[in-house]
Structure 1
Amino acid sequence: MDNNQEKETHRAVNPGDVIADEEQSVEEKKQQLAVDSPDITGDHIQVPTYFAVEEPDGEEKALHHVKDAEEISDVIRQSRVDENGERTWW
């Protein structure tokens, strides 16, 4: 198998599930869509491939919707909205 074949993604993989090159910036990853199509009701659905989260040190990090699903769930569980609609973190 040559190098080109090794780098090829399996055809059965959903293009939105492909993990981006690690050299991509968070901004570039945030632009990737896992789903960008109409659903059965005709509404147009867009689902990001990466979810951007802010680290405690203030740095932004991109989490892949499949590979980092557990960490995304942890982040969501940590967030809360107060009575004024403001997001608070535990």
Structure 2
Amino acid sequence: MGIIDKLNKDFESRVRLGIMSVLMVNDWIDFTEMKTLLNSTDGNLASHATALEKAKYIEIKKEFVGKKPKTSYRVTNSGRQAFTNHLNQLEHLLKN
């Protein structure tokens, strides 16, 4: 198995890398702020977030604030560990 095979395919997308990077340094972040930070479309952000949720890397909370729906995200413990491992493998790849 080569070094590149140890990289996590779930984080290959630019949007998924962005989502995970933002969530590693924030507790909860809402959809609108995440969309702005990543310069993403609604559908693109939602589909990548759903994929990360299915992999149990992030948690998605949907609630109403007043009468407005609000979607928020946070990284799970397993997501934090998986992303940290991914970054460590990238660093290892760069050093070799």
TM-score (norm 1): 0.29
Q: Greater helix share, 1 or 2?
A: 2
Q: Which has the higher contact order (CA 8 A, sep 6+)?
A: 2
Computing the radius of gyration from Cα coordinates, the structure with the larger value is 1
Q: Greater strand share, 1 or 2?
A: 1
TM-score (norm 2): 0.28
